[in-house]
Amino acid sequence: MTAVPPTPPAAPERRRLRARSGRLPWVLVLPAVAAVAFLVLPFAGLLISAPWPDMGERLRDPEVLSALWLSLATATAATVVSLLLGVPLAWLLARTEFPGRRLVRALVTVPLVIPPVVGGVALLLVLGRNGILGTHLDAWFGITVPFTTAAVVMAQVFVAMPFLVISVEGSLRGADRRYEEAAATLGASRTTVFTRVTLPMVLPGIAAGAVLCWARALGEFGATITFAGNFPGTTQTMPLAVYMAMQRDPEAAVVLSLVLLLVSLAVLVTLRERWVNA
Amino acid sequence: MPETFPRSRAAGRRPSALSLIAAATGLSLAATACGGGEADEAGRDQEGGNLSGELDVFAAASLTDVFESLAADFEDEHPDVDVVLNFAGSSELAVQINSGAPADVFAAADTATMGQVTDDLGLDPDWAGEHGEDGALFATNTLQIAVPPDNPAGIETFDDLAEEGNDVAFCADEVPCGAATTEAMEAAGTDVTPVTYEEDVRAVLTKVELGEVDAGLVYATDVVSAGDRVEGIDFPEAEEAVNDYPIGLLSGAQNPEAGQAWIEHVLGGGGAELDAAGFGTP
Amino acid sequence: MGSFLDADLRLSRGTFELHAALGAERGEILALLGPNGAGKSTALRALAGLVPLEAGHVRVGGRDETTTPVEQRPIGMVFQDYLLFPHMSALENVAFGPRCQGADRAQARERAAGLLEHLGLAEHAVARPGRLSGGQAQRVALARALAVQPRLLLLDEPMAALDASTRVEVRARLRHWLEGFDGTTVLVTHDPLDAMVLADRIAVVEEGRVVQQGTPAEVARRPRTAYVARLVGLNLFHGTAEGTTVTLDAQGEAETVEVRLPAPAEGPALVAFPPRAVALYSEPPHGSPRNVWQVRVDGVERFGDQVRVHLAGPPDLAADVSPAAVAELGLVRGQAVWAGVKAAEVECYGA
């Protein structure tokens, strides 16, 4: 029992390396497969039944092209606006204490819950020609917002920005705040800490939020058609064009949906490649 | 409200994947009022002329008030029949019906939409033999210019719509009221560029009610249903674009007897109700 | 006038209370030594301004910094896991501080490059922190803290994240690098060896209080608490001295124990002697002025080339004996033995 020379720890490292990772748990795999099937099969349905020969012709249709272009441009503009406004808001929610913070946080998520059409009406009531603010905008500056491309962007920001705010707030909360402390001990002001340390460190979260926001803006329909109306070239985005096509020719609507889908996928994949390779 | 199709009713006729998707998209966008009873065993005891069971009526949204009132009368007359009304845009209903939604009777807001159904699912052959392959016309609807209550832009004629500075909302070409608008515009020989092509007549009304536009082109019935929130202005060119409302008993109806009776009820006794709602007679 | 660093840190966090007065001169390295949760890291963060004081003060070089915001304090800090910004190269990390202090890009990079070279990291300047070894990362962190030319350098467990072999090397070099620093260094550690090797002064922190302050030699020779005694490897007892005898404070119901001293003393006293000064006998020894107690073997463990025998008293103590002695005495747990300590080996100092 006395001075037995301690046996050197038997290389557990190696054994761990050799160990087979256990069998995949079916309780997780089966629901996961079901989830994928549920999400992918409708797609597959679209792809299979789409009138592919028409696709090229549709893509050359100037009205489709203008709707597609308008969609991409407005969704991108809405994402930029959401980033400029939403990231500071997320920071405020995640990093500061102020009276009513919880309430603000709850209000931010309201657009996620209310039907977009209601959101559109709400925007009209505020920014419309006879809206609370809109009246003054019209009287003082001669600006009317509804039925303009700006209104499309606003409607998209309204429904899509919460996705960004929530996503960025989450990653800010998850970020290691000690890096910010380290920056402060090096003499960095709060602004510098935010731009040079916090922002770069939560960039993946911001990117994820921006993608979510962009995708939501791209698919936005209800608030847009209510607040911005539907006019080819200025306010008719792809989802509106799809809806209109649906009224007369459901097959055309499917083709348009696929065009929107493929273009947005292409954009996302390209961006992803950029990030991964960067 | 639950979408109660596809139910087993449309056995032997598989809806195409495409029309299903279209229907689902349409459904999610529209305020559907879909009856969800399970009383599929429709009563067939024709002996005493007694009708029973559930009667599924799919009707254009503009018929909401009239049909609800007519259904109440009908149920008083036939206490064993449960009339289930499903209102939505005609084209959405057409897609639903063609996709196998459980409907006995379809009342459309225009003949073209009824055509979508007669071309695909088709009407009950016996009934059609009697009333025509394209359904029976039971009402007409005429366009009116809807303006906000005090008519701030002072619009009086169709030509006023084309004036600089007047914001106008039209229905999109793709929906029946939009097609009618185009016909009226051609009849007037005036080129009006609206600020928006709305997805349906309700959306046009909303824009007018909120004062976001100076005028919108809607049906007389919509002006009536909007009450005093909008004013309607008749214009002669509207006569060129009168909309006919067809009704028909659908092929494969689960309760054809009740369906037939309902159609008689609408064609025969609906006049006063339709008139009050702003409809005309064919 | 107080010392160059003159701090009285008072704050509370829930039930934990920190109440520590710290002082050190320019060029000195002060080690805060204590067990986990003693509050030494909190004290360091309070010096940095990362946690606010409830009372007390922080003065550096005669200037009151008590309410100065973190970013304006004359400090440099090396964190336990270094916290190098992962999105910047080593050079950018080091240049970050000078940039914040208003240096232009070129100046900042030049100063950073100089420091990295001084610390032998010139070839790693462009590396991201993820590609650096633990020792390299620690040096970059040190360079980053020095780059802001602080008057107070704060090191939080600088060795904790290093593996044992690197530690020996880094410890020696750290001392060398810190010699060139003309401010005060405060170093937090739970490793007595770090404190002994690196520090000019040691402040032992337990439960939010400084229980002992002094040079490493003083602390090592005359520990004041059981924790320090264990760290420096001494048997330590509290008692009351009268002449050349100390009566140890009784532990519970046990009989009182007396310790004879080499020189007279009076009043409350601490008594310390190393385990290697304890000899074990199977029979009561005779002759020579020894302290002899009958004790019981509580446990035996290997300790370097010696064997440490834990003995249950009174008094409870540890003895280091040779493996041969263990064999000769046939020590097993529960066995009664006699423990003897020469009076000359006993250190007695005021409690």
Task: Report helix, strand or coil for A233.
Answer: coil
Residue B254 pLDDT grade (very low, low, confident, very high; cuts 50, 70, 90):
very high
Q: From the CA of C208, how many Å to the nearest CA of chain A? A: 22
Average pLDDT over all residues of chain A: 86
Provide the pLDDT confidence category of residue C190 given band limits of 50, 70 and 90.
Answer: confident
Is the model's pLDDT at C248 over the cut of 50?
yes
Checking if the pLDDT of C346 tops 70, the result is: yes
Q: Residue C250 above 60 pLDDT? A: yes
B236 shares its domain with B204: yes
Question: C199 versus A22: which is more confidently predicted?
Answer: C199
Q: Do chains C and A touch (3 or more CB pairs under 8 A)?
A: yes
When pLDDT is cut at 50, 70 and 90, the band that residue C235 belongs to is confident
C271: three-class secondary structure by DSSP: strand
- The confidence score (pLDDT) of residue C98 equals 93
Residue B53 lies in a domain: yes
Confidence band for A198, pLDDT divided at 50, 70 and 90: very high
Predicted pLDDT at B31: 35
Structure tokens given for C78: 């090396």
Do B91 and B202 have their domain in common? no
Q: Who wins on pLDDT, A242 or C313? A: A242
pLDDT tier, A276 (very low <50, low <70, confident <90, very high otherwise): low
B232 and B247 inside one domain: no
For residue A278, pLDDT beyond 60:
no
Q: Let me know how long chain B is.
A: 282
Q: 């009116």: which residue's tokens?
A: B144
More confident position, C247 or A275:
C247
The answer to whether residues B132 and B194 belong to one domain is no
Average pLDDT, chain C: 85
Assigned domain for B230 exists? yes
Residue B281 lies in a domain: no
Question: In Å, how far is B117's CA from the nearest CA of chain A?
Answer: 13
- Beta-carbon separation of A49 and B16 below 8 A: yes
Identify whether residues B228 and B259 lie together within a single domain.
no
Rounded Cα distance between A255 and A268, Å, is 20
Q: What is the pLDDT of residue C287?
A: 66
Its pTM stands at: 0.73
Identity of the residue numbered C232: V
Confidence grade of residue C254 (pLDDT, cut at 50, 70, 90): low
CA A163 to each of CA A222, A243, B89: distance values in angstroms, whole numbers, following the listed order = 17, 24, 32
pLDDT digits (tens, 9 = 90+) for C268-291: 888 888 888 888 887 777 766 578
Pick A182's closest partner by Cβ from C83, C302, C331. Answer: C83
Give C-chain residues touching A188 at CB under 8 angstroms. 71, 96, 100
| Higher pLDDT, residue C255 or B107 | B107
Confidence grade of residue B32 (pLDDT, cut at 50, 70, 90): very low
Which A residues 162-181 touch C at CB under 8 Å?
176, 178-179, 181
Which residue of A1, A177, A185 is the best one to mutate when testing the C interface, meaning the one whose CB has the most C CBs within 10 A? A185
In a domain, B3, yes or no: no
What pLDDT does residue C335 have? 78
Query: What does pLDDT average to over chain B?
Result: 81
Superfamily (CATH) of domain A53-277: MetI-like (1.10.3720.10)
**pLDDT exceeds 60 at position B44:** no
The residue-averaged pLDDT of B141-147 equals 93
Lowest-confidence region among A21-30, B69-78, C65-74: A21-30
Q: Residue B245 — pLDDT band, cuts 50, 70, 90?
A: very high
Question: Does the residue B265 lie in any domain?
Answer: yes
Q: Are B82 and B74 in contact (CB under 8 A)?
A: no
Q: At what angle do helices B17-29 and A26-49 cross, to 10 degrees?
A: 100
Map out the domains of chain C with their CATH numbers.
Answer: 5-229 (3.40.50.300), 233-350 (2.40.50.100)
- A206 — contact with chain C (CB < 8 Å)? no
* A133-137 CB contacts, 8 Å cutoff, 24+ apart: none
- In this model, does residue B222 exceed pLDDT 80? yes
If you measure CA to CA, which chain A residue comes closest to B94?
A: A247
In the predicted structure, residue B49 carries a pLDDT above the cut 50: yes
Q: Are residues B135 and B247 in the same domain?
A: yes
Work out the widest C-alpha separation in chain C, in whole angstroms: 79
- In CATH, what number is assigned to the domain containing residue B214? 3.40.190.10
Rounded CA-CA distance B145/B164 in Å is 17
The mean-pLDDT minimum among A208-217, C1-10, C238-247 falls in C238-247
pLDDT of residue B74: 93
Same-domain status, B237 and B247: no
Q: Is A148 on the interface with C (CB under 8 A)?
A: no
For C107-157, what is each residue's pLDDT tens digit? 999 999 999 998 888 899 999 998 998 888 988 999 999 999 999 999 998
Residue B191 belongs to what domain range? 143-241
Q: What's the distance, Cα to Cα, between the start and end of chain C in Å?
A: 28
pLDDT of B168 reads 94
- Please report whether residue B282 resides in a domain: no
B85 and B163 in a single domain? The answer is no
Mutation target for B interface from A129, A145, A246, A257: give the one with most B CBs within 10 A.
A246
Of A124, A229, A250, the CB nearest to B22: A250
Positive or negative, the CA dihedral B234, B235, B240, B241 is negative
Contact between C71 and A188 using a beta-carbon 8 Å cutoff: yes
Contact criterion met (CB below 8 Å) for C128 and C86: yes
Model confidence band, residue B24 (pLDDT cutoffs 50, 70, 90)? very low
HEC profile of B147-215: ECCCCCCCCCCHHHHHCCCCCEEEECCCCHHHHHHHHHHHHHCCCCCCCEEECCHHHHHHHHHCCCCCE
pLDDT at C220: 86
Q: Do A192 and C332 touch (CB under 8 A)?
A: no
Same domain? B104 vs B226 = no
Res C180 pLDDT > 90: no
- The model's pLDDT over A137-196, given as tens digits with 9 standing for 90+, comes to 888 888 888 999 999 999 999 999 999 999 999 999 999 999 999 999 999 999 999 999
- Dist. CA A131–CA A124, nearest whole Å: 6
Which is nearest to A87 in space by CA: A180, A170, A182? A170
Chain B residues lying within 8 Å of A128, measured CB to CB: 210-212
Give chain B's domain count: 2
Secondary structure letter of residue B99 according to DSSP: T
Q: Which amino acid is at C307?
A: V
Would the CB atoms of C323 and A3 count as touching at under 8 Å? yes
pLDDT in tens, C22-78: 988 898 899 999 888 888 889 999 999 999 889 999 999 889 999 899 999 999 999
**Lowest-confidence segment of A118-122, B6-10, B163-167, C26-30 by average pLDDT:** B6-10
The verdict on B37 and B122 lying in the same domain is yes
Map tokens 């004081």 to a residue: C53
ipTM, 2 dp: 0.80
- Tokens representing B269 are 């006794």
Nearest by CB to A235, from B95, B196, B207: name it: B196
Residues B164 and B234 grouped into a single domain: yes
Rounded CA-CA distance B104/B71 in Å is 14
The domain ranges of chain A are 53-277
If asked whether residues B171 and B113 sit together in one domain, one would say no
Q: CB–CB of A169/A90 below 8 Å?
A: yes
Spell out a b/e string for C111-145, using b for 16 or more CB atoms within 10 Å of the CB, else e.
bbbebbeebebeebbebbbeebebbbbbbbbbbbb
Q: Which of A7-21, A118-132, C259-273 has the lowest mean pLDDT?
A: A7-21
- Candidates B14, B25, B208: best to mutate against A (most CBs of A within 10 A) is B25
Shortest CA gap A231–chain B (Å): 5
| CB-CB under 8 Å, A253 with B169 | no
Candidate from A75-89, B43-57, B243-257, B259-273 with smallest mean pLDDT: B43-57
Split at pLDDT 50, 70, 90, the class of C177 is confident
Among residues of chain B, what percentage have pLDDT more than 90?
A: 44
Write out pLDDT tens, residues C316-338.
888 888 888 877 777 777 778 88
Q: Comparing A18 with C121, which gets the higher pLDDT?
A: C121
